[in-house]
Amino acid sequence: MAEYKILFTGTMGAGKTTAIGAVSETPPVVTDVVSTDPSHGKSHTTVGLDFGQLTLPSGDRVRLFGTPGQARFDFLWKILVKNALGLIILVDNSRPAPLTDLKVYLDGFTDELGQLPCVVGVGRLPGHPKPGLDDYLDEMARRNLVLPVLEVDVRQRADVVLLIDTLLAQLEASQYGV
Amino acid sequence: MIQNEAERLLQEVLGVAAVVVATSDGFDVASAMKQGDPTRVAAMASSIFAISAVVSQEASLGRSRSVTIDTEEGFAIVHSVYRPNADLVISVIADADAILGQVAYQVSQFARSLASA
């Protein structure tokens, strides 16, 4: 029975806290506080971490951690990514510059991306089709990164499970030298 | 005035090296520091405030009042200020010359005055 740690990151409002809440078997640990930042439409924001747990059909247990999105909390990104087996970057396609948002996390986790599997989940595509998934792939190709990019709605448990499964599949593939 | 009180603590209390008052979501609203970046201290303090809230909830101990980080060469106190409209967090960083009880008392007095302001 293996234990995995997976880290969710991405911009404020991308759905990290929501994603973990959608799959966690136990009530997730959430460190949301009232947001005083008027530039975002959200009433609350994560300032510490999110934590949830999930048991896979195989019996393996997954510990899910979520980072705060804003760059002023980037000191926590390094702390929270320690011993993570993989990274899920969530992007909100309704924001003005989602590819720029993605870059913040590709930069913030450059070292880890050299060693850990990563999956990118793009949310709110139906109402905001641009940039498309191909644009994300192109952006990452520019950095010599080949990562799965999936369209997701993190309010749906099945979509979050898909992100986790994709990440674990990459992990297994790397263990077999694929 | 919050800024005046932050400066008073820095000047008058032995060993205090920095005072930062922040919103609970990590923006600094007042600070007095011998050195350092109030923006980073504010963000860190808000994380500590939030994590300590979860700990005290898990332990069913009521709300977290403060966190003391005891280090090799000094200490830091992160004190919650609960207010009806918006919570604040006071961080005080102190060096080896500081007396914990004295700094803790001054910080809790400051917190009390902010809570009722």
ipTM: 0.77
Superfamily (CATH H level) for B2-116? Dynein light chain 2a, cytoplasmic (3.30.450.30)
pLDDT at A178: 60
Q: A26-40, A58-72, A134-148 — which is least confidently predicted?
A: A26-40
Question: Could you tell me which residues are beta bridge partners of residue B30?
Answer: B21
Q: What is the pLDDT of residue B114?
A: 95
Q: Where are the domains of chain B?
A: 2-116
Q: For B34-44, what is each residue's pLDDT tens digit? A: 999 999 999 99
A40–chain B Cβ distance below 8 A for any pair: no
Q: Do residues A71 and A24 touch, judged by C-beta distance below 8 A?
A: no
B27 vs A36: CB contact, 8 Å cut-off?
A: yes
**Given pLDDT bands bounded at 50, 70 and 90, which one contains residue A175?**
confident
Nearest to B39 among A46, A68, A72 (CB): A72
Chain B touched by A68 (CB under 8 Å):
yes
Question: Burial of A124 by CB count in 10 Å (0-12 exposed, 13-18 middle, 19+ buried)?
Answer: buried
Dist CA B55 CA A49 (whole Å): 12
User: What value does the CA radius of gyration of chain A take, rounded to a whole number of Å?
Assistant: 15
Q: Are A2 and A62 in contact (CB under 8 A)?
A: no
Q: Which of A141, A68, A137, A50 is nearest to A108 (CA)?
A: A68
3-state secondary structure of A166: helix
Interface test with B, best of A37, A40, A42, A72 (most B CBs within 10 A): A72
How far off is chain A from B106, nearest CA to CA, in Å?
A: 26
pTM for this model (two decimals): 0.87
Q: Which of A73-82, B9-18, B86-95 has the lowest average pLDDT?
A: A73-82
A23: Cβ–Cβ under 8 A, 6 or more apart, which residues? Answer: A52, A54, A64, A157, A160, A161, A164
Categorise residue A35: left if φ over 0, alpha if ψ from -120 to 50, beta otherwise.
Answer: beta
pLDDT at residue number A1: 65
Distance from CA of B86 to the nearest CA of A (A): 8
Smallest Cβ–Cβ distance between A36 and the set B39, B47, B86 belongs to B86
CA distance B43 to chain A (A): 6
Using CA atoms, how far apart are residues A70 and B44, in angstroms rounded to an integer? 12
What class does CATH assign to A3-35+42-175? alpha beta
